[in-house]
Amino acid sequence: MLTLYGTKGSGSAAVEAALTRAGMAYTGVDAASWNPGPGHDALLRVNPLGQIPTLVLADGLVLTESAAILIHLGLTCPPGLLLPLEASARARILRGLVYIAANCYAAISVIDYPERWCEPCDDTMKVQIRAGTRARLHEHWRVFADEFSIGFDAGSPGALELLATVVSKWSGARAHLQAERPAFFAQLQRVEQHPDVAPVFQRHWP
């Protein structure tokens, strides 16, 4: 049995959706750094950074980082479901997953915790850091839509579609895409409505 550490509205939704798509059973542990308690204590025992999602495999191996977890699941679940079988298409998806992790996901951490990135950091500085980072985040999403909208398969969502749909829900990215890239925005909405994953999204964002 797999064990997934995460909480509502977090990046664990992408992993939950992938596990559901693959028909893989797992036990969920409600855990987050902003929600102290037994779940967070258990998370720290397997991931000292306390980051979610964290997935513990049946053999006890601990996987962290959303992109890495999704790549692993894509390589071990039914072939072609989460990652393309064809090498060139798969390489493109891997690029997209790392793009989101390195650019979009990383920016969210700065927006949420600007004090971690400056010292000293007063309220004025926090506002400036958040504003600049949010603008950069939205630019990253605009570029992502231009680079990856072709081949983005909302009708059969794989690892890239699931991660993009989750991470784009934060820090005003969806409103930006709706205004600047409406066709891609509509694709993200279609992913959320896919029958395999709609219950997951409804649970995380009721």
Q: In this structure, are 131 and 50 located in the same domain?
A: no
Residue 37's region, left for phi above 0, alpha for psi from -120 to 50, else beta, is left
What pLDDT shows up at residue 146? 98
Q: Name the band, by pLDDT with cuts 50, 70 and 90, for residue 201.
A: very high
Give the count of domains, the chain. Answer: 2
Q: Considering the chain, what is the average pLDDT of its residues?
A: 97
Q: In this structure, are 107 and 130 located in the same domain?
A: yes
% of the chain beyond a pLDDT of 70: 100
Q: Name the band, by pLDDT with cuts 50, 70 and 90, for residue 129.
A: very high
The secondary element (H helix, E strand) that includes residue 101 is none
The 10 Å CB-count burial string (b at 16+, else e) for 128-148 is ebeeebbeebbebbbebbeeb
Q: Point out the domain boundary residue: 23, 51, 76.
A: 76
| 9 domain residue, yes or no | yes
Is 0.75 topped by the overall pTM? yes
- Residue range of the domain that includes 169: 87-194
Q: Name the band, by pLDDT with cuts 50, 70 and 90, for residue 186.
A: very high
pLDDT in tens, 95-116: 999 999 999 999 999 999 999 9
| 81 domain residue, yes or no | no
Q: In this structure, are 179 and 149 located in the same domain?
A: yes
Q: Name the band, by pLDDT with cuts 50, 70 and 90, for residue 91.
A: very high
| 200 domain residue, yes or no | no
The CATH number for 42's domain is 3.40.30.10
pLDDT in tens, 27-40: 999 999 999 999 99
Q: In this structure, are 60 and 109 located in the same domain?
A: no
pLDDT in tens, 10-24: 999 999 999 999 999
What pLDDT shows up at residue 138? 98
Query: By three-state DSSP, how is residue 30 classified?
Result: strand
Q: Name the band, by pLDDT with cuts 50, 70 and 90, for residue 135.
A: very high
